[in-house]
Amino acid sequence: MRSKDNVDLICDIAELAGLFERSSSLGDFLDTATSIIAWHMKAAVCSIYLFDEDSQELVLRATQGLGPAAVGRVRLALGEGITGLALKELRPICEANGSRNPNFKYIPGILEEQYEAFLAVPILRGLARIGVLVAQDPEPNYFDENDVKALRAIAGQLATTIENANLLMSIHEASRLPQPPPKELPRFIKGKTVSEGIAQGKASIIGMIDDEALRAFDEDPTPRTLDDFHRALKETEDQLAELQKELEERLSDVASLIFNAHLLILKDEEFSGAIERMIVGGAPPQKAVSSVVHRYINLFAKSPNPRLREKVLDLKDLGHRLLLNLMSHDPALADYEGRIIIARELLPSDLLKLAAQRTAGLVLLSGSITSHVAILARSLRIPTVLVENDDLLEFAEDRNLLIDALQGTLFIEPEKDVLDSYTRLIDEQRRLEQLDPVVKSETYSADGVRVRLYANINLLSDIDHAVRLKAEGIGLYRSEFPFIVRDNFPSEEEQYRIYSRIVERLPGRPITLRTLDVGGDKALPYAHSTNEANPFLGLRAIRFSLRNRAIFAQQLRAMLRAGAEHPVRIMFPLISSLDDFTNACSIVRDCMAELEAEKIPHNSQPELGLMVELPSAIEMIDDLCREADFISIGTNDLIQYMLAVDRTNEEVSDLYQPYHPAVLRALHKIAEAAMRHGIDASICGDAAADPHMTAFLLGCGIRTFSVDARHIPAIQRTISETNIEEVRLTAAQAIRLNRIAEIAEYFGVRDGG
């Protein structure tokens, strides 16, 4: 018997893995690997088969001993032959006489039948099937237990390298294959409503635009000149300045300098100079623009500074606009006006830029309906759906789309009759919007109990709707949006102006200003570390404010000043302990003392409250209620943290359950504690607007609801039909239920929520 050196072999494997980097090609790497293994095992044949996930076949990729012509040609289904069986059953197979195994597969032309001993070991990474390592020899019964162990060890060590090689090969192969014909998208896709409304228009895909999208402009056959470029530059600048002006009029609280990065790049001599030099040197202007824009995109995308990386979308947008202006004189073309935007993810500032351009609708491919981009889309009243279909990114550009963000449906190239019926619906909606809403200025239950309906406000523009729909106050102003869209903290004066405009629009009514709630899905690129592994568990909300006292104090001063003549309530988000709350209150008191000393008019008796959003706050609820003037339940976060389900992760959205018994019991407990201590408990998360929950919440003792203003009429109607005495009993019954489905049924939810 020839002596085998299995031990040496295993030792050499580390070197074998390094071989990948030294190999000139993937084939070369696999060839060398097979020849080294064959040599050490003193086996006549060593082969590597790799598993192709798409075709579910094993393909011979390298061999030492079988004819080279067999490489790429021999293909085995999972379970086919001894090799296929080893992979199917995820176990090594060692045969003394392979050809006698009933599973032996005769493959003509490779003369495999002359090799009797057969050892096949699957290459696995975890449970993922990567391929099979095969050793063969003419001498029957040539392989023993040690060989099996050795080959398993090799397969284990090579798995990652081989898997990477396999992936790379499949990429190269895919690029060599003729491109498949454009995929047919379905006629409609059922998704989720993020922001209600109906919109129709041609699709523009943004955010994922790869280099090709801009390069496509290179094919424009009309010759252009340096003068054309100068004209395009000027037009682009004018358009952006105009957009900025318009947006500041419409959304003064958040719009400041939103197109700043665009304008700065345009004015950057190096940017326009580089394009000019290329044009003077003979490059067609389109090419010059696209290549300089790409250079900048690459520079920005690779920057370690997250603020620069965030500007990549601005650059793409700018390149797009410059090129369109270069080729056409129609400024409308350069905008996304009337277009339906498809994006995988957007920053709040991107959304504002789209709103500035009067984008008709939005199709988001990731995120969730309680994410903050979704909240902003609702405030901007951009009909938005969330759908899971990545094919849209590839195949939907310029197609006609119709968004029904009432049902959460996206239609692709809708038929005429579908379009007609939606056009009628849009007209009807417009007509209804013109009518005075059927809503009373005070809300009572059927048995005459007074309930207050407040509005949630995200942008100043939301106040109009709150006033129109007779909100009795503001139960939640999310103060973070002006922070999120700027490149730096807004000053005390800027904040004071924003808060003043809110309180002035609803004089004498309670206005609840929530202090900064950033972090989580609302990171401030200029203030947050980018390496938080769990941003929702990181430096969020009140934690950020307590850690950044100067920023916090500025905001509190602005709030206190805006409340000089008005009843403001200051509310702290994400309070986890009595310490958080009392620390925050003591900073408010310091700010009041400062303002007093500076003789600046301010509110010296603001109500101070907190959001109940964390399990720890529920445990501490009695202590918190004893200290606070009011509490407000933020169910969006409360559900997330109680159930440990990321509110922005669509993958687990089925686990994000407002009807979870634990959530119901928590709500009941919080409301009872507030009643015991005689303080106001409101609810301001999305559950407040769920009509299925209204009776339960009333039954628990909640008497203040804060919702997006558009929900006020429906909630008012439900309350006016509810008898409080009755629902007190049903709420007590509901918290005894211990199944989500039972609760959903109890609440009369037909589809289980």
Residue owning tokens 């005075």: 436
Q: How far is the CB of 474 from ligand PEP (least distance, A)?
A: 13
Say if CB 621 and CB 612 are below 8 A apart. yes
Stretches 37-45, 212-220, 281-289, 635-643: which one binds ligand PEP (CB under 6 A)? 635-643
Site string for ligand PEP, 497-526 (x = CB under 6 A): --------------------x---------
Q: How far is the CB of 413 from Mg ion (least distance, A)?
A: 39
Stretches 2-10, 323-331, 617-625, 632-640: which one binds Mg ion (CB under 5 A)? 632-640
Q: Which residues of 478-509 are buried (b: 16+ CB within 10 A; e: fewer)?
A: bbbbbbbbbbebbebebbbbbbbebbebbeeb
Which one of residues 285, 634, 658, 699 is an interface residue with Mg ion (CB under 5 A)?
Answer: 634
Q: How far is the CB of 611 from ligand PEP (least distance, A)?
A: 7
Check residue 84 for interaction with Mg ion (CB under 5 A): no
Q: Please give the Cα distance from 165 to 359 (Å, whole number).
A: 44
Q: Please give the Cα distance from 342 to 365 (Å, whole number).
A: 8
Determine the residue type at 183: K
Helix axis angle, 26-41 to 6-22, nearest 10°: 170
- What number of H helices and E strands is found in the chain? 30, 23
When the beta carbons of 335 and 708 are compared against ligand PEP, the nearer one is 708
Any idea which residues carry the catalytic annotation? Answer: 372, 684
Number of residues interacting with Mg ion: please give it, by CB under 5 A.
Answer: 2
Say if CB 569 and CB 629 are below 8 A apart. yes
Residues from 136 through 165 that contact ligand PEP (CB under 6 A): none
Q: How far is the CB of 560 from Mg ion (least distance, A)?
A: 23
Stretches 235-243, 244-252, 433-441, 633-641: which one binds ligand PEP (CB under 6 A)? 633-641
Reference 46, options 33, 59, 28, 29; nearest CA is: 33
DSSP-derived letter for residue 102 is T
Which one of residues 131, 567, 634, 699 is an interface residue with ligand PEP (CB under 6 A)?
Answer: 634
Determine the residue type at 339: R
Check residue 613 for interaction with ligand PEP (CB under 6 A): yes
Determine the residue type at 637: D
Residue owning tokens 């929702």: 536
Residues from 458 through 487 that contact ligand PEP (CB under 6 A): 476, 478
When the beta carbons of 285 and 475 are compared against ligand PEP, the nearer one is 475
Check residue 475 for interaction with Mg ion (CB under 5 A): no
When the beta carbons of 240 and 575 are compared against Mg ion, the nearer one is 575
Which one of residues 635, 657, 716, 722 is an interface residue with ligand PEP (CB under 6 A)?
Answer: 635
The one of ligand PEP, Mg ion, none whose footprint includes residue 478, by CB under 5 to 8 A per kind, is ligand PEP
Number of residues interacting with ligand PEP: please give it, by CB under 6 A.
Answer: 10
Q: Please give the Cα distance from 383 to 195 (Å, whole number).
A: 5
Q: Please give the Cα distance from 519 to 614 (Å, whole number).
A: 15
When the beta carbons of 30 and 459 are compared against ligand PEP, the nearer one is 459
Q: Can you read off the two tokens belonging to residue 358? A: 């009067």
Burial degree of 90 (CB within 10 A; 0-12, 13-18, 19+): exposed
Say if CB 432 and CB 197 are below 8 A apart. no
What is the length of the chain?
753
Q: How far is the CB of 583 from ligand PEP (least distance, A)?
A: 20
The one of Mg ion, ligand PEP, none whose footprint includes residue 684, by CB under 5 to 8 A per kind, is ligand PEP
Check residue 637 for interaction with Mg ion (CB under 5 A): yes
When the beta carbons of 224 and 647 are compared against ligand PEP, the nearer one is 647
Stretches 354-362, 372-380, 486-494, 629-637: which one binds Mg ion (CB under 5 A)? 629-637
Q: How far is the CB of 636 from Mg ion (least distance, A)?
A: 5
- % helix, strand, coil for the chain, step of 5: 50, 15, 35
Check residue 684 for interaction with ligand PEP (CB under 6 A): yes
Reference 709, options 439, 527, 449, 510; nearest CA is: 439
Stretches 531-539, 575-583, 619-627, 629-637: which one binds ligand PEP (CB under 6 A)? 629-637
Residue owning tokens 């904040």: 495
Reference 584, options 529, 624, 524; nearest CA is: 624
Stretches 326-334, 367-375, 494-502, 627-635: which one binds Mg ion (CB under 5 A)? 627-635
Positions in the binding site for ligand PEP (CB under 6 A): 476, 478, 517, 613, 634-637, 684-685
Positions in the binding site for Mg ion (CB under 5 A): 634, 637
